[in-house]
Structures are given as C-alpha cells and as structure tokens.
Amino acid sequence: MSKINVISGDICTLEVDAIVNAANTTLLGGEGVDGAIHRTAGPGLIEECRNLRGCPIGQAKITSAYNLPCKFVIHTVGPVWKGGDFGEEGLLASAYTNPIRIADNMKLHSIAFPNISTGIYSFPKELAAAISITAVRKALKKYKSIKEVLFCVFDEENLEIYNRILSEPSP
Ligand code: ADP
C-alpha cells in the first residue's frame, strides 16, 4: 500500500528518493522553491540542467541531487494561473503525474512534492491541492514502485488545506 502524507518545512532537507522541483521552462533556476533547491544542491545541478535544454509545462525531467540529501531531483513545470480557461488544471495534474511516472520508471520508492504553481505562478491553493491529491491517488494505482508520497507544504494555508482534504474519505 502506498501512503500519502503531509510534511511542513523546507523540501531541501528531505531524505527521500526524489524531491520534485517546481521549475520554469528553462530549467535554469528561478525564485521560490526552485531557487532554494539550486542553492542547496550547489553548482553541479545547474550544469546538468543546462544539458536538458528546458522542459515543457506539465512535463518532467530527472537529474542527480548533488549536495541535497535526497537521491534525485525531478524537475517539473507547473502552469501559470491565467484564470482557468487555458488548460491550467490538466497541466497541473500532469506536473504531478509525470514525476511519479519517471520515479516509478527508476524504481524509486519515495517522492516529495512542493505545492507546484501556488507561489509565483498564483494557482488558487484550494483548487491546486484538490487537483494534486486526485492526480497522485490516481497515479499511485498505476505506478506501483512508489510507496510513499509526501506533500511538502511551506505555509500555514496549504498545511490546513492538505490536512483537511486528506482527512476526508477519498472518493
Ligand atoms: P511556482 O512558480 O510553481 O508557483 P514557487 O516556488 O513560487 O513556484 O512556489 C511553489 C510552492 O513552493 C509555494 O507554495 C511556496 O510557498 C513553496 N516553497 C517555497 N520555498 C520552498 C521550500 N524551500 N520548500 C518547500 N516549499 C517551498
């Protein structure tokens, strides 16, 4: 049985098999969680990312973790919220599903996600949480190598939202 849990704090400290980076399409670093991951990983990560030649929205690419305590970083790109009529919901779901698919392909067991798109990309937090939890639950039925998924929240609002939705009976 796979488990989904919420953890509060800096994703850069987690000793999981893979952490997911909420990157931008260049994969060359940015602000928010992306900046924190690159700062903690050290310069090797940006070197490796340069060779990846970017990543489309909703897709994902894996790298080594350098000075981070996890084993791998899976870089994904969430959508910028533009009001909801631009496929944002499907693209956000893909930003959760594709890292799980890649982690499963690498036979990894544990993966931690930040709250993709809910920072600078302005996705409504409640909607983003519902999409992410639904997408992860669905993916775990298909990708059996993954035994633990952590939602790593970084603010009180997301902590309350994730704890509430995850405590409700799943449909
Ligand atoms: P995006 O551009 O996808 O919105 P951000 O990095 O701006 O990405 O924000 C995504 C989420 O990551 C936000 O909820 C933000 O609070 C959170 N965050 C920022 N720094 C960290 C960190 N070190 N660990 C975990 N989450 C973080």
Domain hosting 159: range is: 3-167
Distance from the alpha carbon of residue 154 to the mean position of ligand 1, in angstroms: 7
CATH number at residue 115: 3.40.220.10
- Residue 76 beta carbon below 6 angstroms from any ligand 1 atom: no
- The pLDDT > 70 percentage for the chain reads 99
Structurally, how many domains does the chain consist of?
1
The pLDDT score that the predictor gives to residue 49 is: 98
User: Using one digit for the tens of pLDDT, what is the confidence trace for 44-93?
Assistant: 999 999 999 999 999 999 999 999 999 999 999 999 999 999 999 999 99
The pLDDT score that the predictor gives to residue 66 is: 98
Q: Is 34 an active-site residue?
A: yes
Within 10 Å of residue 171's Cβ, how many Cβ atoms?
Answer: 5
The pLDDT score that the predictor gives to residue 139 is: 97
**pTM, to two decimals:** 0.98
Statement: residue 2 has pLDDT above 90: no
Give the Cα separation of 58 and 99 in Å (integer): 10
Residue 79: name the closest of 120, 121, 113, 114 by CA: 121
Say how many Å lie between the first and final Cα of the chain, rounded. 17
Q: Residue 121 CA: which ligand 1 atom is closest?
A: 4
Give the Cα separation of 74 and 48 in Å (integer): 12
User: Using one digit for the tens of pLDDT, what is the confidence trace for 35-52?
Assistant: 999 999 999 999 999 999
